[in-house]
Structure 1
């Protein structure tokens, strides 16, 4: 007889063991260890960093090795290699024979200048030249007359000398035969001496007169030559009143109006030779000491490079710039226009196998004394020594190695911190 279900029931006892709590504790410890293992380095970096900056706010570049070219980029202006300006050679009224934009040939008449003063001076000096030439002719006639007179005096003295010699011989014979007195004999001797002196003086006077006439003639000849030079110069100036083109080209801007009175050396017009162009560039004065005549220049025109050379450098600085002229070494670009703007690149220096990094604003932030080197998301302030600088790269002399990465953007937001953490 079954009184109840006690025989079938099994007594359940409550488990008061601490094992589940132990498991929970172990699981928590493992979780914390994993968290520390994962977060620990980050926390350590946070602890070392003096500043934290998002990585997308900076620009990073690698240190490379290769050819380095130091250059200057300057905006150039196309100018004609030959563009002479014509000026008024004298005071006068200008008459233009051409207009701006006309094509002209060499020595073609461009304008005429009416200068009555210069023309009258030429006529006056021509008259003076004719007067001197007339005086020279008169002098030659007078010289011939004087030569005849002198020759006549010499001939008469010669005759008197011959007569005195004959009388002296007669006196000698008479005195030997006691036909004449001592006084008459001595008189014959005196007349002979007198005739000799007259003949000698006549020859000397003739020679002296000839020298005097020759001197007067040479003096007049020199005056004529000087006057001829003066007339030739005035003739050249009068011929220069017809203004002619010094080159083949196109007439540029006219600096005066037609039928205008101009002063001497006043600008008239400019002739532009379009067969040969050069590029005029303005370079910042900070590069003035680096410039030298003969440097290679690349001229960019219509997405193509043309080789050129720096041929002139201005000796003075205007508006903080130095002006230079660039001449094409090979065939220049086609369709160039006067005053057209083009880009130029002056090659200052070229080096091979140079450690370098891209140029950036970090130069302004650090003054080139240090850079921020990237090491495992940490930007470390690293001293460097920089060398030459080009438009795109900077030479590294000390402080960095090839393959390292540095921040090349502005680092003012780092506040000169020694270490900066870069976050994603």
Structure 2
């Protein structure tokens, strides 16, 4: 499932106006890394958390020993997946629970990263090759009640053998072969674990533990722009303006197009009365947002949900002009055209959506939507729900470069 990466937080801060800094200017991150503003003294790096994220309990090892013990590793992995589908062991999706492999198994819950940690650990115990796979799911913009800016990132497991490539995913809706994806090292996956946990602890107002986890993430991946944005979110939440500003600026030095850091610097300066700086970053944010088809799609979806169908269509046209190969854009355009009474245009949009949706699970979800509306409104072909299965296993055959994606 989607792994929530909470990448920005806005609080009232006090400062003065100033000149927009150069992105190449030297940034002193020592205060942000020391944590003294939160801990009361500089952090002792020996105190950073260091969990064995892939550890298995004796109970888990004993169970895995019974899974197709005489079969080859890939056959054993297939048997393990079937056992999960039969609920011989069970995990419920919980967006706010980034857990270790052992915790996920024992507590029977977790988000996509927690589930993937468990599956990678179990697959390797069975002798199968398994690694973390990051899927560049397009970002989703939103705010919670604490004004937290949210961007979702998605991780699943991949196991390869001479027969092909198997993707094990906790959420079919979040995975689509159309999205870019790449192998993630254990270190990078572990950094995301500590970052996720840090944000979860931050939301619980456990500021010291939150800092230690975010600091651990940066110790593992100091060049990750998003992790610096997370650290800025922590400092922002607890009113440490200087450290938040330096963290966001470091994020931008690593990735000048980090929209989260840009947006939050704008908000930080706006709330503190530094209008010149705020306007500088507001212009940069507008520049990036208006050129990002997924931000336009987010705006269109929000307009659609509020019944503003003409506005939704306007934003969808702009999104499609910039990028026309995402089936979700076309499907929402179909919904929008229908609401506007443009039935033939809606059918054309649906045909485009189905032609682009290579993932059979996505097509099935769309079909369920259409069938639901046929039942509720005879003669129509739309609806607003989106049922998805809990887990999907995808086998990709190298020889043909195609995918066989059976439902579970």
Q: Could you say which structure has the higher strand fraction? A: 1
Give the TM-score normalised by structure 2: 0.17
Bigger Rg, structure 1 or 2: 1
TM-score (norm 1): 0.16
More helix by share: 2
